[in-house]
Amino acid sequence: GAGVSQTPSNKVTEKGKYVELRCDPISGHTALYWYRQSLGQGPEFLIYFQGTGAADDSGLPNDRFFAVRPEGSVSTLKIQRTERGDSAVYLCASSLGQGGRAFFGQGTRLTVV
Amino acid sequence: DQQVKQNSPSLSVQEGRISILNCDYTNSMFDYFLWYKKYPAEGPTFLISISSIKDKNEDGRFTVFLNKSAKHLSLHIVPSQPGDSAVYFCAASGGNTPLVFGKGTRLSVIA
């Protein structure tokens, strides 16, 4: 597809479980971002990749959160030992270069019960 | 500490009138500003942007104004249409940093 694709669109998991969220950026976009949006809030930055490397992971809330982008294209956000407070919409975005206009996927709604 | 602030959580406007959405920022390193629009169950979609070297950018019914001295920007939509009803996010970046978003303003355009 032409846009940013995120799977799954919805994920319900039990507290304490491990989850993986996938993002397929727009082809050719070198920059990839993960954001988290809670109810009534704006998207909150988590981590940014330039190519395969994490250029800025300062937004990851704690060490239960980890993300990879091994081949500089698809990225996976991994959350260990999920907690109810992790429930949110996780958004992925990509852009041609650093900074600038980012294109978002539709998000993955994560619910931890 | 919110670097990008949208102080109005919601705004209601009559169809055909002007909608004005406001945004303030605190980080003087920000040099690129964007507005995104979000419908329920969809990701944010880019609407319009402005670089700090300009004070106005226009695209059809949408105009963004930037006042650097006041660290303030606004989005004007005229005429407003019912399809414009959505949540609008202001975002900013400085240099090559990731976008920082405000909390959003929910616009309702009433027919």
- pLDDT digit string (tens) for A75-87? 999 999 999 999 9
Chain A touched by B46 (CB under 8 Å): yes
Q: What is the pLDDT of residue B53?
A: 95
- Give B21's pLDDT tier (boundaries 50, 70, 90): very high
Strand partners, A91: A35
In angstroms, what CA-CA distances link A19 with A3, A64, B94? 23, 11, 32
pLDDT band, residue A105 (cuts 50/70/90): very high
For residue B2 the two structure tokens come to 């919110």
Residue-wise pLDDT for B1-12, tens only, equals 789 999 999 999
pLDDT over threshold 90, residue A2: no
Query: Which of B49, B93, B102 has the CB atom closest to A42's CB atom?
Result: B102
In this complex, which of A59, A101, A104 lies closest to B43 when CB atoms are compared? A104
Taking 80 as the threshold, does the pLDDT of residue A99 lie above it? no
Alpha-carbon span A82 to A62, nearest angstrom: 11
Closest chain B C-alpha to A107 CA, distance in angstroms:
6
Q: What is the 3-state secondary structure (H, E, C) of chain B?
A: CCCEECCCCEEEEECCCCEEEEEEECCCCCCEEEEEEECCCCCCEEEEEEECCCCEEEECCEEEEEECCCCEEEEEECCCCHHHCEEEEEEEECCCCCCEECCCEEEEEEC
Of A81, A73, A42, A71, give the one whose Cα is nearest residue A59.
A42
- The answer to whether B4 contacts A42, with C-beta atoms less than 8 Å apart, is yes
Find, among B108, B110, B111, the residue nearest to B11 by Cα: B108
Mean pLDDT of chain A: 94
Mean per-residue pLDDT for B90-101? 90
Q: How many CB pairs under 8 A join A and B?
A: 57
Q: Are A105 and B43 in contact (CB < 8 Å)? A: yes
Taking the CA of residue A32 and the nearest CA in chain B, the distance in Å comes to: 10
Highest mean predicted confidence (pLDDT) among B39-43, B91-95, B105-109: B105-109
A104, A106, A108, A109, best to mutate vs chain B, most B CBs in 10 Å = A104
Whether B98 and A48 lie within 8 Å, measured CB to CB: yes
Rounded distance between C-alpha atoms, residue B68 and residue B40, angstroms: 32
In sign, the C-alpha dihedral spanning A3, B49, A75, A78 is negative
pLDDT > 90: what percent of chain B? 93
Percent of chain A with pLDDT over 70: 98
Provide CB contacts within 8 A for A101, sequence distance 6+: A95, B34, B46, B49
The total number of residues shown for chain B amounts to 111
Contact yes or no for B93 and A105 at CB 8 A: no
Distance in angstroms (rounded) separating the CA atoms of residues B42 and B5: 22
